Structure 1
Amino acid sequence: MIDKLEYLLALAREKHFGRAAEACGVTQPTFSAGIRVLEATLGMPLVERDSRFQGFTPEGERVLDWARQIVGDVRAMRADIGALKTGLTGLLRIAAIPTALATIAELTTPYRARHPGVRFSIQSCTSNEVLRRLENFEVDAGVTYLDNEPIGRNRVVPLYQERYRLLTAADAPLGHREQIAWAELAAIPLCLLTPDMQNRRILDRLLHNAGIDLAPTLESNSIVVLVSHVQTGRWACVLPEKLAQIFGLTPKLRAIPIVAPEEVHSVGVILPNRDPMSPLVSALVQIATRHAEALADAP
């Protein structure tokens, strides 16, 4: 039964019978037969289909919720038992919004020091993709905003408060300032993240509240692209403080606090609301909690 539920989860991820079968390592006829066996066992249709996958029936959506819980618990049980024999090993998969990527090393480095047998996969995603991948078991944890848009029923571990900086060339028009107001950004050419990024939606709201309905001169989903344009001296961009510090510590660039008002947003780890947690995820919670406490105690 577990393998059939795994098929259902793969179909929810891939939305295509052939790709789902490939992800499960079986032929498409075997995969389709497995789905039909699950439907026969439960006595109800789960999948809307004609010549291709059309979606799930209402019953299928409900079974999918149960499948996520059951498969998650089985995976956690296997990992927990395995940890008793060999210590903590395996692959911890984390999806993070681009603006939080600079903080991931603050979690993975102490994690590996405690558990050297664990490997890591870090994926850069939009906040919506983080939630989707977490829901579909494509990742074990996410790092995203906690207080700006809904995050569903997931557990959260707050990490830090995000503050914003203007990243600009030192010899640019505002490069000499010690701080700057949001309204003043109307006077300079900005490059920003694309609108599918939650950080961009936050910035659009802040700029709108300051009386600016801005059309940036350049948009990209890559922070490297934004910073490389700032380095030309012809553009500026708005980045979270932690991220701006990485790029701003050069003679050419400055990271200037944006105030009036100073806006903050909570960023943290999100996890499936499942108890007990897998050993890999439980260890991440311990590391993240210690990290947040250390930040809170810092002067």
Structure 2
Amino acid sequence: MIDKLEMFIAVATEGHFGRAAQTLGISQPTLSSGIKQLEDQLGVKLIFRGSRYGGLTPEGERALVRARGIVGETRRLRDEMRATRGGVSGRLRVAVVPTALTWAADLLSRFGARHPGVRFTILSRNSSEVLRMLENLEVDAGLSYLDNEPLGRHATQELYRESYMLVCAAGSELASRSHVGWEAFRGQKLALLTPDMQNRRILDRNLAEAGVEAEVWIESSSIIVLAAKAGASDCMTILPRDIATFLAAGRPLATVPIEGGRAGHAMGIVAPRAEPQTPMIRELLAEGRRMHDEASG
């Protein structure tokens, strides 16, 4: 039954039988057969379908909520039993907003050193996708903004607060400054993340409050692209301090602290709220707490 519920969740999440089958690593006929068997067992039709996926029936919408709960509890039980037998092990799947990727790497390196039986999958996603993937059981945890999204149904652990840096070519007119204010970007060509990214919305707000009409010449979902363009053109970008420092190391880029604007936003771990938490998530939150205390101390 559990494998059939996982098939159902995958189809509802992807909205497409072919993509759901690919996600699960099974053939589409196997997936279709599994969904039909589940419908027969429950005695209701869950999915409207003819030649293609047509959405969930009203019964399917209700069943999806219960299916997520049952599959989530089953996975928690499996993790508890595995930890009892041989310590925390298995695969930890984490969705991370692009601006937190360096922190994710540090967090999971520390976690892996304590728990060598754990393997990791790290996915770069925007903040709304992080929450959607948690809701759909596609990932086990996320690293995202804690004060800009509705997180009432999630457990959280703050890691750090963002502060921002101008990143520009070493020969830029602003490169030699000890710091800049947001007003320094007036009339400058900017390369920024796409508007669906929470970071972009934060930067837009700070620029607007400084009376700056942003001249965005390049938009990308990739921070690597932004840094590369800043080093190779008269564009400049704005990035959180840690990832700016990481990308500028050994490259012809200057990083300049930005002062003023709103206080930095809290970034941290987001996980499904459960009592008790699985050993994996409990240990992840504890590692995050240690990192936060070290950074604050």
Shared topology, TM-score over 0.5?
Answer: yes
Q: Secondary structure at the match of 1:187?
A: coil
Given that 1:191 and 1:216 are in contact with CA atoms closer than 8 Å, whether structure 2 keeps it comes out as yes
Q: In the alignment, what sits opposite 2:194?
A: 194
Equivalent-residue separation in structure 2 for 1:262 and 1:171 (angstroms): 29
Q: In the alignment, what sits opposite 1:147?
A: 147
Shift of 1:106: 2.0
Structure 1 position 108 matched with structure 2 position 83: no
Equivalent-residue separation in structure 2 for 1:246 and 1:158 (angstroms): 21
Gap change, CA 1:82 and 1:108, over 3 Å in 2: same
Q: In the alignment, what sits opposite 1:237?
A: 237
Q: Which moved more, 1:230-239 or 1:94-103?
A: 230-239
Gaps of 5+ in 1: none
Shift of 1:156: 1.2
Letter in 2 for 1:14: E
- Cα deviation, 1:202-225, whole Å, max 9, x if unaligned, reads 111221222223231112111111
What does 1:60-79 correspond to in 2, within 5 Å?
60-79=60-79
Structure 1 position 205 matched with structure 2 position 189: no
Q: In the alignment, what sits opposite 1:266?
A: 266
Letter in 2 for 1:141: A
Shift of 1:76: 1.4
Equivalent-residue separation in structure 2 for 1:19 and 1:185 (angstroms): 43
Letter in 1 for 2:196: D
Letter in 1 for 2:38: L
Gap change, CA 1:176 and 1:133, over 3 Å in 2: same
Q: Which moved more, 1:247-256 or 1:286-295?
A: 247-256
Letter in 1 for 2:202: I
Letter in 2 for 1:144: S
Gap change, CA 1:24 and 1:122, over 3 Å in 2: closer
Gap change, CA 1:135 and 1:84, over 3 Å in 2: same
Letter in 2 for 1:236: M
Gaps of 5+ in 2: none
Q: In the alignment, what sits opposite 1:20?
A: 20
Equivalent-residue separation in structure 1 for 2:256 and 2:119 (angstroms): 36
Equivalent-residue separation in structure 2 for 1:250 and 1:236 (angstroms): 18
Identity score, percent:
45
Q: Secondary structure at the match of 2:232?
A: coil
Gap change, CA 1:168 and 1:59, over 3 Å in 2: same
Q: In the alignment, what sits opposite 1:88?
A: 88
Letter in 1 for 2:149: E
Letter in 1 for 2:94: I
Q: Secondary structure at the match of 1:289?
A: helix
Shift of 1:16: 1.7
Q: Which moved more, 1:16-25 or 1:172-181?
A: 16-25
Letter in 2 for 1:140: D
- Cα deviation, 1:30-63, whole Å, max 9, x if unaligned, reads 4334334433444443222232212112332222
Structure 1 position 98 matched with structure 2 position 98: yes
Given that 1:171 and 1:233 are in contact with CA atoms closer than 8 Å, whether structure 2 keeps it comes out as no
- Cα deviation, 1:67-86, whole Å, max 9, x if unaligned, reads 11111111111121122222
Equivalent-residue separation in structure 1 for 2:132 and 2:26 (angstroms): 24
Given that 1:172 and 1:233 are in contact with CA atoms closer than 8 Å, whether structure 2 keeps it comes out as no
| Aligned positions, number | 297
Given that 2:126 and 2:196 are in contact with CA atoms closer than 8 Å, whether structure 1 keeps it comes out as yes
- Cα deviation, 1:251-281, whole Å, max 9, x if unaligned, reads 8432222123253111111101223322222
Shift of 1:294: 1.4
Shift of 1:27: 4.8
Q: Secondary structure at the match of 1:93?
A: strand
Q: In the alignment, what sits opposite 2:280?
A: 280
Shift of 1:4: 2.2
Shift of 1:226: 1.1
Cα RMSD over matched residues?
2.1
What TM-score results when the alignment is normalised by the length of structure 2?
0.91
Equivalent-residue separation in structure 2 for 1:53 and 1:130 (angstroms): 24
Q: Which moved more, 1:123-132 or 1:255-264?
A: 255-264
